[in-house]
Amino acid sequence: MRAHPSRSTFLNLLTPVALAFLIVLFQMGGAPVYELLRYERQAVFAGEWWRLVTSNFVHLGWAHCLLNLAGLAVCAVFAADTRSWREWASAIGALALGVGLLLLLASPRVGDYAGLSGVLYGLFVWVLAPRAWRGGLVPRLALAFVCARIAWQMLFESPGAASELIGGHVVAEGHLYGALCAIAVLGWEGLRARKKSAD
């Protein structure tokens, strides 16, 4: 028996809603929580490996926090019941770890990082790409916008363009890494689905 549509929607949104609550709680913790959880390259090399993941869930200020939560809400709307809460949890975990590792390994000049935006860009790709592949016009346009936005940030945008809004420097590499990790997650999901259908 299939779950009632409203119940199914509620269950599927459990993970992004829980993530939003967690981010708000971290933000309410203020500077001590931020300093403990943000990405700090030297601290990671000193053994504080949790920062690779937790840095994605703390923010520079309330404006930065609320901007990313609004993006998470939009992403959840685009998901439109196509992703289960387990898939959300797996994707968020993989993207958070992937962004942190890529910052550590591929961006030695980035000493500090905080915010959901890298994971968020990855989530948009993760949600939109399968729907775009199936032929939806709106997902295709939204995915094209996300990709164009990342390209613009990497190639043209001034580092200080959004700094006044969020209260710090925008690390565009984090957005790129989130999108690349999302492609890897989608590839892994595709391989699992193909193996399952072959069994």
CATH number at residue 194: 1.20.1540.10
pLDDT over 80 at 28, yes or no:
yes
Query: Of all helices (H) and strands (E), which one includes residue 18?
Result: helix 14-28
Residues 91 and 106: their CA atoms lie apart, in Å, by: 21
Name residues whose C-beta falls within 8 Å of residue 93's C-beta, 6 or more positions apart in sequence. 53
SS3 assignment, position 156 = coil
* The two structure tokens encoding residue 185: 């997650």
pLDDT of residue 165: 78
Place of tokens 């775009």: 132
Does residue 75 or residue 169 have the better pLDDT?
75
pLDDT over 60 at 5, yes or no:
no
Range in 2-16, 42-56, 125-139, 162-176 the model is least confident about: 2-16
Residue 187 burial (10 A CB sphere; 0-12, 13-18, 19+):
exposed
Range in 24-38, 147-161, 185-199 the model is least confident about: 147-161
pLDDT over 90 at 6, yes or no:
no
What is the Cα Rg of the chain in Å? 17
Task: Calculate mean pLDDT across residues 171-180.
Answer: 97
Task: Calculate mean pLDDT across residues 177-193.
Answer: 97
> Is-contact 26 51, C-beta < 8 A?
no
What does pLDDT average to over the chain?
93
pLDDT of residue 1: 42
pLDDT of residue 60: 96
Total domain count for the chain? Answer: 1
SS3 assignment, position 164 = helix
Residues 199 and 196: their CA atoms lie apart, in Å, by: 5
Quote the percentage of the chain above a pLDDT of 70.
Answer: 94
* The two structure tokens encoding residue 29: 């913790």
pLDDT of residue 7: 66
Task: Calculate mean pLDDT across residues 73-92.
Answer: 94
Partner residues linked to 84 by β-bridges: none
Residues 147 and 50: their CA atoms lie apart, in Å, by: 29
- Structure confidence by residue, pLDDT tens digits, 111-144: 999 999 999 999 999 999 999 999 889 999 999 9
43 — pLDDT class (breaks 50, 70, 90): very high
Please spell the DSSP secondary structure of 152-193, one letter per residue.
HHHHT--TTTTHHHHTS---HHHHHHHHHHHHHHHHHHHHHH
- Domain containing 102 equals 5-198
